[in-house]
Amino acid sequence: MKKKEKKRTRKEVVAEFKRYFQTEPVTNPTLREKLIKNILFYAGDELEDRDSLVELAIQSEEELIDRVINILDYYHGQYQELS
């Protein structure tokens, strides 16, 4: 004979649902994370090997900003050539 399960309350069901589907708290990305994300998006194909990724990872925020500026200069130059 099958054991009869106790009926759960709405509060218990919601708590279990939250535990099961709980995601990591969302935090705002840091400036460094934003810079690296954009460098990878706009110039990721230039990072050919592991060493170039390591070099990117150890750069300071100022160096990362300079890198983003260089990427922008490149795209601006490409746009000027097409215009």
Model pLDDT for residues 37-68, shown as the tens digit of each residue = 999 999 999 988 889 999 999 999 999 999 99
CA 74 to the chain's CA centroid: 24
Rounded to two decimals, the pTM is 0.66
Q: Looking at the chain, how many residues does it have? A: 83
Model pLDDT for residues 8-23, shown as the tens digit of each residue = 788 887 778 777 777 6
Provide the angle, in degrees to the nearest 10, between the axes of the packed helices 31-43 and 61-82. Answer: 30
In the chain, what are the domain boundaries?
Answer: 27-82
